[in-house]
Structure 1
Amino acid sequence: MPDTADSRELSELPLEELVACHECDLLLRRPHLVDGERAECPRCGYELFSYRHQVVTRSLALVIAALLLYVPANFLPIMQLNLLGQTTHDTVWTGVLALYESGMGEVAVLVFLCSMGIPLLKLLCQLCVLLSIRWDIGRSYGLLIYRIYQHMREWGMLEVYLMSTLVAIVKLVDLADVSLGIGLACFVGLLLAQIWLEVTMSPHQIWEALSGEREDGLARD
């Protein structure tokens, strides 16, 4: 814990030069990192942030891959169900339609937003932010879009939808002939791409690039 002199010195620094640990709330001077370095809290050891290499290039590749997987993941069959001589091909979209047609409109809207609408909006927001940094245009709009993206992060629940789908498949195996479709593989790929993107797209580097606090070739990596 910093002593009185250190606390007085920190209080005299501008806010942009300070960072607080998310675990123990220790106030620290913001370190200036280079590629591959990471900053840890000296009190609890929590990783404050790390400076990753080629953030924009790698994130753009993942965003494009996720967008390419989005359509087949939601509109190609996740599973084929054969029950009493009747065969159905179930997709995420047909699941939403089935809920709506059965009179559960509110549930259908919620499933659509969490499994299709918001994940797509998140990807489009990330694409706009990354292109804003890459092409060095519209940084102010990029800041606004990135703030919107931060508010939507908790609403995209692809992993919950995937788990519910897997549970349904396990329960249906004993009742009918179930075959897995290519849509399920695309859906898993989309989920993995989004998780990898969350890890790769370092928030503090994105904020710094959008605000112009630090370039260090980030827009050109």
Structure 2
Amino acid sequence: MDESIKITTTCQQVHCHECGYLVEVPPLVHRQRAQCPRCHYVITTYYQNMVQKLVAFSVAALIFMVAALSFKFLSFSANGQYHSINIFSSIETLADNNYLALAILQSTVILVLPVTILLCLLYLLMPVLVGKKPTYAAPLLKFIFALRAWTMVEIFLVAVLVSLVKIMSMADIGIGLSFYAYALFAICMTYTLMYLDEHQMYLLTSCALPKAPKRHSASHSIQTTWALLFTSVLLYIPANVLPIMHTDILGDDEPSTILGGVLTLWKMGSYPIAAIIFIASILVPIAKFCILCWLNYTVQNDYSGQKKTRMISYRLTEFIGRWSMIDVFVVAILVSLIQLGNIMSIYPGYAALAFCAVVILTMLAAISFDTKLIWSNQ
């Protein structure tokens, strides 16, 4: 049988995840995708040899993760003082500074969740390679796709690069083998998630395609979204007013807010990095607040216009939501790396926790918002 032919030769009827429209998905060939004709949501994309690619990238990612945990990650030296970290020690430093919640969050989104997804995928796909049906496939698939949005490997890697630019003028920076291994892990993880298609995975593991999820009442979705948005807006105030980190130089404490850090980078001439932090930490959260408030208001008032515009706005919000975590990761990296006693040390501020809560709550608000309500009167 030609490998370019789809796994099934019959059409499949699937409810669109975003608008609820019943779509008939025909057999696909390599790189073909099926879209919802109403909201243009991509229901599935078929890749030739998808199982082999997923297994290969998953195994490679796990190997690179082991290597990333085995060597030095970064080192920092200034005025004759030297300090180096690995990924585990950076998490331990946060915990030692009484920021256990931040340490747990960082370890979860950059280590625990990605590795869990990879191991679950291998458990499901290794039997498929030899023509067998994996056990517990349906609940594991549901578990994998629920976790996927919360992995932040590539965001952490970008945050490391931003951190290096911020402190390059202060001291000598050393990049260890673990950094390169983690970069390769991030690449493999990104490719794994790119090939991970929900519709195709259910077909590959011989599971029944998931039925349309039971919908809560419109008022439940609207009220939950308003509650999460209101809480996140309240937390956004201390996240910007309070210091996100403290720099202790020879006993002199220099607090820095998010906007203050952006201005400092701009004055230093690091315009691209200043722009990245400003967009991720200032513009993106405000844009998420505005878009989600607008979307929730329109469904609450049964507004029937601009359906496609609202769907595009929602997808944009969902896509950019995680990237606000860059500034939190930058603080975590600087805190763990720059610990030179009285000469120079960096400590996290309360704004780091507040801003982290803002990011999580806005992501939960986007998840709680029921996009089907946009199409409910059609």
Deviation at 1:69, TM superposition (A): 0.2
Match of 2:116 in 1: 121
Give 2:106's match in structure 1, choosing from 111, 123, 132: 111
1:147 maps to 2:148: no
Q: For residue 211 of structure 1, give the secondary structure of its aligned residue in structure 2.
A: coil
Alignment of 1:162-181 (within 5 A): 162-181=157-176
Deviation at 1:124, TM superposition (A): 0.7
1:70 maps to 2:65: yes
Question: What residue identity is the alignment partner of 1:28?
Answer: V
Change (3 A) 1:148 1:108: same
42-51 vs 144-153, which moves further:
42-51
**Cα deviation code 1:97-130 (max 9, x no counterpart):** 1111222222211211112111111111111111
Give 2:180's match in structure 1, choosing from 160, 169, 185: 185
Question: What residue identity is the alignment partner of 1:178?
Answer: I
Flag structure 1 segments of 5+ consecutive residues without an equivalent. 1-15, 215-221
Change (3 A) 1:146 1:27: closer
Q: For residue 140 of structure 1, give the secondary structure of its aligned residue in structure 2.
A: coil
1:194 maps to 2:194: no
Q: How far apart, in 2, do the equivalents of 1:131 and 1:190 lie?
A: 20
Change (3 A) 1:54 1:121: same
Q: How far apart, in 1, do the equivalents of 2:99 and 2:30 lie?
A: 51
Deviation at 1:62, TM superposition (A): 0.5
Higher relative contact order (CA 8 A, sep 6+): 1
Match of 1:31 in 2: 26
**Cα deviation code 1:66-123 (max 9, x no counterpart):** 0100022234222221122122222211100111122222221121111211111111
Match of 2:46 in 1: 51
Identity %: 26
Change (3 A) 1:186 1:120: same
1:79 maps to 2:68: no
Q: For residue 111 of structure 1, give the secondary structure of its aligned residue in structure 2.
A: helix
Change (3 A) 1:158 1:54: same
Q: How far apart, in 2, do the equivalents of 1:145 and 1:44 lie?
A: 28
Flag structure 2 segments of 5+ consecutive residues without an equivalent. 1-10, 210-378
Deviation at 1:22, TM superposition (A): 5.1
Q: For residue 135 of structure 2, give the secondary structure of its aligned residue in structure 1.
A: helix
Question: What residue identity is the alignment partner of 2:195?
Answer: T
Please tell me whether the aligned partners of residues 123 and 134 of structure 2 are also in contact (alpha carbons under 8 angstroms).
no
Q: For residue 205 of structure 2, give the secondary structure of its aligned residue in structure 1.
A: helix
TM-score normalised by length of structure 1 = 0.78
RMSD of aligned alpha carbons:
2.5
Change (3 A) 1:107 1:54: same
Q: How far apart, in 2, do the equivalents of 1:110 and 1:41 lie?
A: 35
Deviation at 1:137, TM superposition (A): 4.1
Q: How far apart, in 1, do the equivalents of 2:53 and 2:112 lie?
A: 24
Question: What residue identity is the alignment partner of 1:141?
Answer: Y
